[in-house]
C-alpha cells in the first residue's frame, strides 16, 4: 500500500507541495512546539507527545513510497510512525510524521520564528479549517515565547506565499493574542 504522511505546519498549505491526494486528519496525543537546533538560526515547528491533546493537519499519500523529496524538504527531522495516532477517512494504512529528535534539540539561543513561514502555516489552516482552525493552530502549539522576525517584505522562507490583507491581519491578530498570554 502507498504510505502517507501527516503534515501539521507548512505541509497543511497545499500550495507548498505537490501531493494531490491529501485530506484533513487529526493527530491524537500530540501538540506542536517551536524547537531550537544547531542546524539553523530559525526554529523548527515540531511535535511532542501530550496525552489528552490533539492537533489538526493534513495527510497525503507518498506516491511509489518515494520519500526522497519529502525527506529532503524535512531535513533536520526524523520520520516517525504516527499511524496509530491519526484519525482520518483515507485509505491509508501507514502514516508517518516528522519530528525533531530530542538529541538534535537545544535550549537557548537567538533563534526566531519567520513571519513568512507563520503566514504560510496560517494560510493553510484557514483554507482547510477556517479561521477557527487557524486559532486552534495557535492554541495547540507551544513555545510562543520565541521571538518572531517580520520578513514579509523580503521573505526568507523558501515556500513563502502571497497573502491577502485579511490573511495577514488574521496572522497578526492571532499572534498578538498568543504573545499576550505569555
Domains of the chain, CATH where assigned: 4-180 (3.10.490.10)
What does the pLDDT read at residue 20? 81
Strand pairing of 78-81 and 148-149? unpaired
Give the span between the Cα atoms of 143 and 120, in whole angstroms.
Answer: 18
Return the closest-CA partner of residue 159 out of 37, 31, 9: 9
Look at residue 90 in the predicted model and tell me its pLDDT: 86
Residue 156, pLDDT score: 97
Strand partners, 55: 27
**Over the stretch 146-155, which tens digit does the pLDDT of each residue have?**
999 999 999 9
| Region label for 52, one of left (φ > 0), alpha (ψ between -120 and 50) or beta (otherwise) | left
Give 10-residue mean pLDDT values along the chain (182 residues).
Answer: 93 94 96 95 97 97 92 95 94 92 91 97 98 97 96 97 97 95 80
Its pTM stands at: 0.95
Question: Residue 2: what pLDDT?
Answer: 85
Cell numbers for 17: 507541495
CA 15 to chain centre: 14
Q: Which helix (H) or strand (E) holds 48?
A: strand 44-61
Amino acid at each position: 500500500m502507498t504510505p502517507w504522511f501527516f503534515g501539521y505546519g507548512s505541509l497543511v498549505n497545499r500550495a507548498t507541495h505537490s501531493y494531490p491526494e491529501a485530506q484533513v486528519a487529526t493527530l491524537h496525543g500530540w501538540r506542536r512546539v517551536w524547537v531550537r537546533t544547531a542546524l539553523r538560526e530559525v526554529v523548527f515547528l515540531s511535535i511532542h507527545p501530550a496525552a489528552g491533546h490533539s492537533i489538526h493537519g493534513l495527510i497525503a499519500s507518498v506516491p511509489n513510497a518515494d520519500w526522497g523529496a519529502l525527506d529532503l524538504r524535512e531535513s533536520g527531522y526524523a520520520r516517525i510512525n504516527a499511524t496509530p495516532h491519526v484519525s482520518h477517512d483515507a485509505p491509508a494504512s501507514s502514516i508517518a510524521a516528522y519530528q525533531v529528535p530530542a538529541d538534535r534539540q537545544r535550549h537557548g539561543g537567538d533563534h526566531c520564528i519567520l513571519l513568512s513561514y507563520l503566514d504560510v502555516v496560517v494560510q493553510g489552516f484557514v483554507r482547510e479549517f477556517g479561521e477557527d482552525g487557524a486559532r486552534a493552530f495557535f492554541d495547540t502549539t507551544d513555545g510562543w515565547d520565541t521571538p518572531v522576525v517580520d520578513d514579509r517584505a523580503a521573505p526568507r522562507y523558501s515556500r513563502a506565499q502571497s497573502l491577502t490583507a485579511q490573511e495577514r491581519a488574521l496572522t497578526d491578530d492571532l499572534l498578538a493574542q498568543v504573545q499576550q498570554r505569555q
